[in-house]
Amino acid sequence: MRYETYDAVVIGGGAAGMAAAVTLSKRGKSVIMFEREPQLGGILLQCIHNGFGLQEFKEELTGPEYAERFTQQVASSPITVKLNTTVLELQQKDDKKVVIACNSKEGILEIETKAIVLAMGCRERNRGNINTPGTRPSGVFTAGLAQRLVNIDGYIPGKEVVIVGSGDIGLIMARRMTWVGAKVKAVIEIQPNPAGLTRNIVQCLNDYNIPLYLSHIVSEIRGKDRVESVCVTPLEDGRPNEDKSFAIACDTVLYSVGLVPDNEITRSINLNLNPETGGAWVDANLMTKIPGIFSCGNVLHVHDLVDYVSEEAMRCGNFAADYIEGKTLQCPIQLKAGGNVKYVLPNAMNLEEPSKMYLRPLIVKNSATLEVRCNNTVVKSIKLRHVQPSEMISYTFDPQKLGAEELLELNTHNSLEISVS
Amino acid sequence: MDSIYDVVIVGAGVSGSAIARKLSSYALNVALIDKEVDVSFGVSKANSGIIHGGFHHKSSTLKSRLECLGNRMFDQLKEELHFPFSRCGILVVAFSDEEMRTVEQLYRQGVANHAVGIELCNRERLLSLEPKLNADVVGGLHAPNGGIIEPYRFVFALVESAVRNGVKLLTDWHLVGVTEQENHYLLRNERGEEIISRYVVNAAGVHADTVSKLFNAEDFTISLRKGEEFLMDRNAKAYPSKVLFPVPSAHSKGTLVIPTVEGTTMIGPTSEPTTCKDDLATSKENFEKVFYNARRLVPVVSERDVITSFTGVRPLVESDDFYIAISEQSPRLIQVAGIQSPGLTASPAIAEYVKELLKKAGLSMLEKTHYDPYIEQVPRLRDLSPLEADALIAQNPAYGDIVCRCEKISEGEIISAIRHGHTTLDGIKFYTRAQMGRCQGGFCTHRILKIIERETGLTIAEITKRGSNSYIASEQVGNLAVEDNHAL
């Protein structure tokens, strides 16, 4: 057993973890970062397509290039990096926090720390989660696993592919599988609208004449040893019309049906999760209900772009440094999702500082309005050019810009509701 | 001509494997053959994993006698073979006075079968035993001797023990032809390879009727009942403390809510006839039915917690009892057919019973002096304290590398599975639990593939999910011709 002490422990060495660790280190804190894989970068390493960094670096990078911008910063900092190391458990002992991890070289490590940043990212939903009936042959993969196999291991998971779900990874994989010589026969999306970004529909499907079936489901997977076909059924008025079902012969089915924050370590310390995000409850300091434990990136909520993850994680690093320095502001104002909003983050804020909010809208609309309400009175209203569920809305709300009367109201009610219409 | 055996057992499911292990304690030359690439890949891998409490069946049936005998043998078996098993107890839950009358009948049957500790419960007692039960219960039955097991782990351990004691295991050995000669059988597989055996045990599960015909023995038919099961996340609130049964119907013991030994919740099975031996498909209708029935027992059961589902089949013979007998047409063949529920519970007793039948059929048996009932216990990182884990990793660093994050399975455990002969993705899954958790292999499959490649020398194209044509990735990047189908 090795026992060590650091100001902060960062769990996860992907986009979020690296940005948080670098920020903490710049603030002079001693940091240890744990990563399960043999190198830093997380899922970015298998995303060899471009389109990353437009917000953060104002240039278009591939996933590995984007990761490298941060791995270089980590390398030139005094951060202790533990690769091939898995965190097993978090413990709270009085006001001390303890992180238990293991690797093959050092065995079990027990790290005592003042602050913990959770940055474990997310995982993919799979066939079991959406209960596709049928047989259980080989050839059923999540899109991310297929991406890993193709881009890092150099294996082609199949030659005739049907993709379930039009999430971004699925769309990117439609193009990627085409490029390695597989035939992508269809992308099947249950919703009437694509789940992924518009640019990916155009660049990954339309450019390769890959058919996208909206309002359709894969109602059955067939095949004994290996996938032989899928049965596709259209939805009419939200219900499957089995009379119009048709089969598509294929040897591979890829699932791109959403991502879920990977919060298993979070559960080990009994932090309850928000059912809407799958992430922890956090205040405007990105701090969970256990003081000193922070969360950022896709383990907090699933982001559209890595650039937003980095931005959030850098703020998180600063908040964690503030906490270590005893400068954390209380957040008495509760933030709630109102009409047409799936969730709003953070879940609480303070009156002293502007707070950056992320909202996931439930509607598709041009010329929408975002409203901030206190006790059913609109205190702030802004226009949005276009909203859709696949694009997160970010908005910085500054309570100091409110009128005296509104501030008084807010002080009395301690609650704001955010809606989109 | 490869080898001459005293006994060949056809089928490495739980019955065949238990028989093989029993026979391995005698000075006999025994082979266990199976058409699949690994053991426990048929009926024994896909079932509810229940060690039954000895009250569901009439005392007069063979299955009831063997169930009760088998049940009592599991504590010692666990001691010797280290498979996951817990005598957590069983509750049968009644929702009406009429159902309560059936429960009373089960209770009387249990008493007649000497089920240890069996107890008739009123509503309060039942709810105190399992607070997660639907509050509408009126009463039920408690069988504290019932329990749960990981069925494939039990079979793997039985086979490992049998092989340690000299049994020859032949997987991927599909019996397709039999020639009866004066005092032995000549058995032939698909590849034309032959083995000779003086006695044969037909424990071929759903294929027992086909195998019987190969011997020109009894012409019986195995009929099948499918059962779908749904496995839920470790964090599911529904996890009960005991196995929960509804009141049984004529055909089935009903939809159960099961706390698996490994801490996940399972609900199922359905029960519907099928004619196809490969029919392992799940359906949407059954999904709805199973959840409806499970929620009647435990209202917090939620569809949101499902991580996977699967189907198993139960092999039935016409009598609805076990058919275990010396063949009348082919007197050195022992039929072990129709081993449906409670076959898993009964399996150790089936092995004893078959041993006696072989003796009766003329096989002489001498106990081995050097028989070792124990197998080595493979350490599992998740079960160890930090200090124990640290010591293990110092001894074998592969235990410090976590491959399956959901179930906390280390590389050391994967390597152990491979060295015990489990070289398919499913074999490794059933042996270690890697890929069995909530991500269903999304994060660890690529790592397991690499470990199999390294440890076995198989190429990626040769690695399968479970043998035959269940390949994972047949080509490498660069091998396929790329069509120039870019629209631009």
Q: Is the pTM of this model over 0.90?
A: yes
- Looking at residue B2, what is its pLDDT? 53
Residue B378 gets which letter from DSSP? P
Q: What is the pLDDT of residue A345?
A: 95
Mean pLDDT calculated for residue range A234-250: 96
Q: Which residues of chain A neighbour B485 with C-beta distances below 8 Å?
A: 178, 208-209
In this complex, do A156 and B483 lie within 8 Å of one another by their Cβ atoms?
A: no
Between chains, do A156 and B471 touch, taking CB under 8 Å as contact? no
Residue B446 pLDDT? 95
Q: What is the pLDDT of residue B1?
A: 45
Q: Do A148 and B309 touch (CB under 8 A)?
A: no
Q: How far apart are CA B231 and CA A136, in angstroms?
A: 14
Backbone angles phi, psi at A398, to 5 degrees: -115, 105
- Verify whether the Cβ–Cβ distance B282 to A1 is below 8 Å: no
Taking the C-alpha atoms of residue A43 and residue A152, their distance in angstroms, rounded to an integer, is 11
SS (H, E, C) A51-96: EECCCCCCCCEEHHHHHHHHHHHHHCCCCEEECCCEEEEEEEECCE
- On whether both B293 and B261 belong to a single domain, the answer is yes
Min Cα separation A404/chain B (Å): 46
The proportion of chain A whose per-residue pLDDT surpasses 70, expressed as a percent, equals 100
Boundary-marking domain end, from B377, B399, B415: B377
Q: Which domain holds residue A301?
A: 2-123+260-324
**Together in a domain, B414 and B439:** yes
**Can you give the pLDDT of all 488 residues of chain B as single tens digits?**
457 999 999 999 999 999 999 999 999 999 999 999 999 999 999 999 999 999 999 999 999 999 999 999 999 999 999 999 999 999 999 999 999 999 999 999 999 999 999 999 999 999 999 999 999 999 999 999 999 999 999 999 999 999 999 999 999 999 999 999 989 999 999 999 999 999 999 999 999 999 999 999 999 999 999 999 999 998 899 999 999 999 998 778 899 999 999 999 999 999 999 988 877 888 888 899 999 999 999 999 999 899 999 999 999 999 999 999 999 999 999 999 999 999 999 999 999 999 999 999 999 999 999 999 999 999 999 999 999 999 999 999 999 999 999 999 999 999 999 999 999 999 999 999 999 998 999 999 999 999 999 999 999 999 999 999 999 998 899 888 876 655 44
ipTM reported for the complex, 2 dp: 0.94
Q: Do residues A10 and A58 both lie within one domain?
A: yes
Is B479 at the interface with chain A, CB within 8 A?
Answer: yes
Same domain, B169 and B78: yes
pLDDT at position B480 is 87
**In the listed set A324, A353, A377, which residue is the last one of a domain according to the structure?**
A324
Beta B323-326 vs B333-337: how paired, if at all? antiparallel
Mark whether B20 and B97 lie in a shared domain: no
Backbone φ/ψ region at A392: left (φ over 0), alpha (ψ -120 to 50), beta? beta
Chain B contact probe: residue of A103, A122, A125, A129 with most B CBs at under 10 A:
A129
Please give the pLDDT value at position B487: 46
Indicate whether B473 belongs to any domain: no
The rounded radius of gyration (Å) of the Cα atoms in chain B is 23
Contact B464, B37 (CB under 8 A): yes
Q: Does B397 touch chain A (CB under 8 A)?
A: yes
Neighboring chain B residues of A231 at a CB cutoff of 8 Å: none
User: Domain range spanning residue B72?
Assistant: 1-84+149-221+317-377
**In this structure, are B329 and B424 located in the same domain?**
no
Q: What is the CATH number of the domain that holds B426?
A: 1.10.10.1100
In a domain, B478, yes or no: no
Mutate to test the interface with B, among A85, A226, A229 (most CBs of B within 10 A): A226
Query: Are residues B227 and B349 both part of a single domain?
Result: no
Over residues A348-361, the pLDDT tens digits come to: 999 889 999 999 99
* Co-location of A142 and A238 in the same domain: yes
For residues B172 and B12, what is the distance between their CA atoms, to the nearest angstrom? 11
Domain boundary, last residue among A223, A239, A257: A257
Question: Does B391 lie in the same domain as B323?
Answer: no
The answer to whether residue B114 is catalytic is no
Nearest CA in chain A to B481: A181
Contact A149 B400 (CB under 8 A): no
Indicate the residue of A127, A129, A154 with minimum beta-carbon distance to B477. Answer: A154
B279, B440, B453: which to substitute to probe chain A, counting the most A Cβ within 10 Å?
B440
What's CA B313's distance to the chain center, in Å? 11
Q: How far is A33 from chain B (nearest CA, A)?
A: 17
Separation of alpha carbons A368 and A209, rounded Å: 33
Residue A15 has phi, psi (to 5 degrees) of -55, -45
pLDDT at site B485: 53
**What is the tally of structural domains in chain B?**
3
- Summarize pLDDT for B25-73 with one digit per residue, the tens: 999 999 999 999 999 999 999 999 999 999 999 999 999 999 999 999 9
**How many contacts, defined by CB atoms under 8 Å, are there between A and B?**
170
If you average pLDDT over residues A35-53, what whole number do you get? Answer: 96
How many separate domains does chain A show? 3
A410 band by pLDDT with thresholds 50, 70 and 90:
confident
Each residue's pLDDT tens digit, A367-399: 999 999 998 899 999 999 999 888 899 999 999
Whole-angstrom distance, CA of residue A323 vs CA of residue A20: 14
Same domain, B181 and B72: yes
Length of chain A: 421
State whether the Cα torsion B293-B294-B296-B302 is positive or negative: negative
Record: contact A180-B482, CB cut-off 8 A: yes
Which segment of A188-192, A274-278, B206-210 scores lowest on mean pLDDT?
Answer: A274-278
Chain A environment of B406 (Cβ under 8 Å): 264
Shared domain for B10 and B79, answered yes or no, is yes
C-alpha–C-alpha distance, residues B129 and B118, integer Å: 13
The whole-number pLDDT of residue B488 equals 43
Residue B419 included in any domain = yes
CATH number of the domain encompassing residue A206 = 3.50.50.60
Q: Chain B: give the shortest CA distance to residue A369, in Å.
A: 33
CATH number at residue B351: 3.50.50.60
Q: Count of CB atoms within 10 A of residue A242's CB? A: 11
CA–CA min distance A28, chain B (Å): 31
| Mean model confidence pLDDT for chain A | 95
Do the domain assignments include residue B288? yes
Name the residue among B398, B441, B469 with its Cβ closest to that of A225. Answer: B469
At residue A148, the pLDDT reads 97
pLDDT at position B402: 97
Please state whether B297 falls in left (phi above 0), alpha (psi between -120 and 50) or beta. Answer: alpha
Looking at the fold, whether A353 and A411 belong to one and the same domain comes out as: yes
